[in-house]
């Protein structure tokens, strides 16, 4: 299919103009969206949160359907099993039920993992390729949503949340190791690092970068907790 949205391009570059503009766009849009929601009643806030969650999730669903239709669809690369893909896919469940235990997991997974994908994107295609839209709606959208949930739903992590989220990521990691073994894939970048430069490059070669990730995860989660914890003066009794 010959269309500008599918024609290959290599217009995106790390810290290039498109990188700067898209991050700035989502940062400003996220702030304005949350400020708008704070002025609305609770029913409207819940509805806006659900719309946002479905927008993020639809980036994965539509992209997957296009890959299945146009091809090629590669089960070694295109299943929604990378952490951000999986989070985007299930985000509407949290928007519907808003359980605190879900937030406890999501807040650390998103802010620890997704922000790294924003700062060092694993992306070649620039605007207006479908991969460009999918990548940024997914990753930036996740960060905007967890910011929305923290402010609008008045949810904040606790110290226990750190360990719950850490335990959950270990379970998911074990599941993906099994998937990678069966498919010969590299989901979660367990078999090798991303093709593009990333923070993992500072952690050494395989398998050392995985060990370093595991060692720094809890301290990293703790820093996120310190940034988001509920002020003592507003603790609920």
- 66 found inside a domain: yes
Q: What is the DSSP letter of 231?
A: P
Q: How many domains does the chain have?
A: 1
Question: What is the tens place of the pLDDT at every residue in 84-118?
Answer: 999 999 999 999 999 999 999 999 999 999 988 99
- 106 found inside a domain: yes
Residues 6+ apart with CB under 8 A from 221: 108, 112, 162, 165, 166
Of the candidates 151, 131, 128, which has an alpha carbon nearest to the alpha carbon of residue 139?
A: 131
Question: What is the tens place of the pLDDT at every residue in 18-64?
Answer: 999 999 999 999 999 999 999 999 999 999 999 999 999 999 999 99
Of the candidates 213, 219, 188, which has an alpha carbon nearest to the alpha carbon of residue 200?
A: 213
235 pLDDT higher than 50: no
237 pLDDT higher than 50: no
- 7 found inside a domain: no
- 118 found inside a domain: yes
- 4 found inside a domain: no
2 pLDDT higher than 70: no
- 46 found inside a domain: yes
Higher pLDDT, 5 or 136: 136
Q: Could you list the residue range(s) of the whole structural domain that residue 102 is in?
A: 17-234
14 pLDDT higher than 80: yes
Asked if residues 146 and 107 have their Cβ atoms less than 8 Å apart, the reply is yes
Q: What number is the average pLDDT over the span 71-91?
A: 94
Question: What is the tens place of the pLDDT at every residue in 123-170?
Answer: 989 999 999 999 999 999 999 999 999 999 999 999 999 999 999 999
- 226 found inside a domain: yes
| Of the listed ranges 13-22, 41-50, 198-207, the one predicted with least confidence | 198-207
Asked if residues 91 and 123 have their Cβ atoms less than 8 Å apart, the reply is no
Task: Dig out the tokens for 19 from the structure.
Answer: 């990188």
203 alpha-carbon distance from chain centroid: 21
1 pLDDT higher than 80: no
Asked if residues 104 and 161 have their Cβ atoms less than 8 Å apart, the reply is yes
How far apart are the two ends of the chain, measured CA to CA in Å?
59
Q: How many residues does the chain have?
A: 237
Higher pLDDT, 151 or 236: 151
- 6 found inside a domain: no
């Amino acid at each position: 299919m010959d269309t500008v949205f599918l024609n290959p391009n290599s217009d995106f570059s790390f810290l290039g103009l498109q990188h700067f503009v898209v991050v700035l766009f989502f940062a400003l849009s996220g702030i304005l969206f949350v400020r708008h929601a704070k002025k609305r009643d609770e029913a409207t806030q819940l509805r806006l949160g659900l719309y946002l969650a479905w927008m993020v999730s639809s980036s994965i669903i539509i992209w997957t359907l296009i890959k299945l239709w146009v091809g090629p669809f590669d089960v070694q690369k295109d299943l929604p099993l990378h952490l951000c893909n999986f989070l985007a896919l299930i985000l509407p469940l949290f928007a519907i039920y808003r359980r605190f235990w879900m937030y406890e997991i999501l807040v650390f997974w998103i802010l620890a993992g997704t922000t790294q994908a924003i700062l060092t994107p694993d992306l070649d295609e620039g605007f207006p390729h479908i991969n460009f839209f999918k990548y940024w709606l997914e990753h930036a959208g996740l960060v905007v949503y967890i910011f929305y949930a923290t402010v609008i739903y008045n949810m904040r992590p606790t110290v226990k949340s750190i360990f719950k989220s850490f335990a959950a990521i270990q379970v998911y990691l074990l599941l993906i190791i099994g998937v990678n073994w069966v498919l010969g894939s590299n989901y979660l970048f367990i078999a090798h690092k991303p093709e593009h430069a990333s923070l993992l490059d500072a952690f050494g070669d395989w398998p050392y970068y995985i060990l370093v990730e595991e060692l720094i995860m809890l301290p990293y989660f703790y820093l996120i907790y310190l940034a988001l914890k509920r002020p003592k003066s507003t603790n609920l009794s």
